[in-house]
Amino acid sequence: MKYCPNCAATITVKIPADDSRERHVCEACGSIHYQNPRNVVGSIPIYGDKVLLCRRAIEPRHGFWTLPAGFMELGESTSDGAARETFEEAGAVVDIGPLYSLLNVPHAEQVHLFYLATMKTPNFSAGEESLEVALFDEQDIPWNDLAFPTVKQTLEWFFADRASGALNSEFHVRSRDVLRTEKI
């Protein structure tokens, strides 16, 4: 941020009087422009024993597989955003269940939230941001061609919890921080 979005004056980066962190401050109009992490909301769409994945038609990670997910929009809830992204990217209508995973990605200034989701029918289709969409059995998951560490970790947790029976009762949200150095 170089210019004030309110008045177009040049922004100063400084610690405001009653603060402890550097902020983007406009000394012309007095506004402070805070910056905060963004939420990426998505789902684990389940049909029977299979999970629905999308192959990305956009950068970053064009051509790699992901769970349907995207930035949460103003005016919607986390679960509504997860359902919307699932429909937009994978053409699938889902019943959103409990929050399953929360992964912090501080270096990307993001928080990733994935909900368990049940597909009502085996209907799906590639949205504009997907090259293809497919249902996968656990043994067919393209582990080496996944798009993001948060997707890989969420799928690893999911299959382990499904095997142990943990998904059949209440569970704590699976959560950890993703390091900048993590690769798929």
Residues near a second copy (CB under 8 A) are 1-8, 11, 18, 21, 33-39, 71-79, 98-99, 102, 104, 106-107, 109, 111, 128, 166, 169-173, 175, 177
CA 118 – CA 140 distance, rounded (Å): 20
Total count of residues recorded for the chain: 184
Residue ranges in contact with Zn ion by CB under 5 A: 4, 6-7, 9, 26, 28-29
CA 45 – CA 52 distance, rounded (Å): 5
- Cβ-based nearer residue to a second copy, 78 or 149: 78
- Cβ-based nearer residue to a second copy, 36 or 121: 36
- Cβ-based nearer residue to Zn ion, 15 or 29: 29
Phi, psi of 12 (to 5 degrees): -110, 135
CA 114 – CA 84 distance, rounded (Å): 13
Q: Residue 26 binds which one of Zn ion, a second copy, none, with CB within 5 to 8 A depending on kind?
A: Zn ion
